């Protein structure tokens, strides 16, 4: 579920919210499947390969993940709110053809995918 905050009490409050959203989404089936698909070509237990594959998939795209073929493009939040999408919701939006978000969503998506495979 996405969240919008008009004026977070602090950066720390926003980071806590993002952390909780990401942690809960590391076991979401869509996130786990995407992470495993993205890292499928990496040798087992090769952390560097897996993290690089996730970063590159989000930045440049991965045709094996529905909606993520062109990567996750940067799109600014509205001026009046900070919008936070969960990794699962972001992948749903990508599959629906709306694959983009600001730096918060980029970080959440990368962290969620990495968390889904044990980071």
Segment 5-24 mean pLDDT: 79
Within 13 A of 50's CA, how many CA atoms are on the CB side? Answer: 18
pLDDT tens-digit map of 56-82: 999 999 999 999 999 999 999 888 778
User: Per the confidence metrics, is the pTM higher than 0.85?
Assistant: yes
User: Of 106, 109, 36, 48, whose CA–CA distance to 75 is shortest?
Assistant: 106
Average pLDDT for residues 14-23, to the nearest whole number? 89
Helices (H) and strands (E) in the chain, counts: 5, 4
Q: How far apart are CA 107 and CA 101, in angstroms?
A: 10
């Amino acid at each position: 579920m996405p969240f919008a905050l008009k004026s977070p009490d602090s950066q720390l409050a926003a980071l806590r919210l993002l952390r909780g959203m990401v942690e809960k989404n590391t076991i979401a089936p869509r996130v786990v499947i995407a992470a495993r698909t993205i890292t499928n070509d990496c040798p087992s237990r090769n952390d560097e390969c897996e993290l690089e594959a996730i970063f590159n998939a989000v930045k440049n795209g991965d045709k094996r993940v529905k909606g993520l073929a062109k990567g996750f493009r940067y799109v600014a939040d509205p001026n009046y709110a900070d919008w936070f999408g969960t990794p699962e919701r972001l992948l749903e939006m990508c599959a629906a053809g709306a694959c983009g978000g600001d730096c918060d969503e980029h970080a959440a998506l990368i962290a969620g995918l990495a968390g889904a495979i044990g980071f």
